[in-house]
Amino acid sequence: MSILDFITNNFLTFLALVGTGVFAGVLAGLLGVGGGIVIVPVLFFLFQGFGVSPESAMVVATATSLATIVPTSISSIRSHNKKGNVDFNLLKHWAIFILFGVLAGSWLVTRVDGTLLTMLFGIIATLSALNMLFRTGKCALFNQLPGTLGQTAMGTSIGFFSSMVGIGGGTISVPLLTLYNYPAHKAVGTAAAIGLIISLPGALTMLILGSTPADAPPGTFGLVNLVGFICIVPLTVLFAPVGASLAAKLDAKKLKQVFAVVLLITGLRMLAQLFL
């Protein structure tokens, strides 16, 4: 089946992919939430809807999500850099360790069963939701970032776990940095740059080294589904500014709490699919 035939025969799925791009873009602008935390579970359940096994759906969703983060992170970096919120000094020290973690994590994705990735994403999504619901931005546990060894472990872990579940790094790096009394606005801006360090080599590794599952959706190369990529990216980039405009008019705090509840339910549902 060609990509065109796939879109024609699965028009509702095509609309859902477009809607995913819109939703991810608006959330990114409105709440500062990385698109991957939205895109991965949507693709995971959508792919299963047209006959892809849960294991294959998860690895393809992970790789496709990372691919979509590449262009959106570039746009986000430019926006945050104009405000002086990208800490290039921190990136200079962390980049090599993040990259090492990404290469290890993305290579592992091409080798492990998707069940492990589903469990890992479910845990990270659940913890992220609980963090949004119950932790305020002011409750730093430490006065400053740890020494070289601690920061090496932080950078490597961010790259490793983010690449394994298809997220850009903000979901892990922002709460982790703010635990160490790092300014929240700089944490968000720097996370955008971390997202590029994670997504580009991670997506390329999964594209080149990944073996396309036999039941993968049409348009999948390596582990990256180009149909999902083409549908999601333009809408995400287009609607991020819309979300930023809405943030000035709506109660973003309450909306973030609603999203956290939805994310909590999503994470628990993914875990339940594994164990129930």
State the total domains in the chain: 1
CA angle 188, 174, 61 (to 5 degrees): 95
In tens, the pLDDT along 51-90 reads 899 999 999 999 999 999 988 888 778 878 888 888 999 9
Q: What domain range includes position 232?
A: 10-275
The answer to whether residue 127 sits within a structural domain is yes
Residues in the chain: 276
* Number of separate helices (H) and strands (E) present in the chain: 11, 2
The answer to whether residue 32 sits within a structural domain is yes
213, HSE (Cβ side, Cα atoms, 13 Å): 25
Q: Going by C-beta distance under 8 Å and a sequence separation of 6 or more, which residues neighbour residue 236?
A: 21, 22, 24, 25, 28, 35, 68, 72
Arithmetic mean of pLDDT, 152-158: 96
* pLDDT of res. 50: 79
pLDDT band per the 50, 70, 90 thresholds, residue 161: very high
The answer to whether residue 38 sits within a structural domain is yes
The answer to whether residue 4 sits within a structural domain is no
The answer to whether residue 125 sits within a structural domain is yes
pLDDT band per the 50, 70, 90 thresholds, residue 32: low
In tens, the pLDDT along 1-30 reads 555 665 566 677 778 888 888 888 887 767
The answer to whether residue 5 sits within a structural domain is no
Chain position carrying tokens 């968000």: 188
The answer to whether residue 1 sits within a structural domain is no
Arithmetic mean of pLDDT, 132-143: 74
Provide, rounded to the nearest whole percent, the portion of the chain with pLDDT above 70. 92
Q: Is pLDDT at 171 greater than 90 in this prediction?
A: no
The answer to whether residue 91 sits within a structural domain is yes
In tens, the pLDDT along 243-271 reads 777 766 777 677 778 888 888 998 999 99
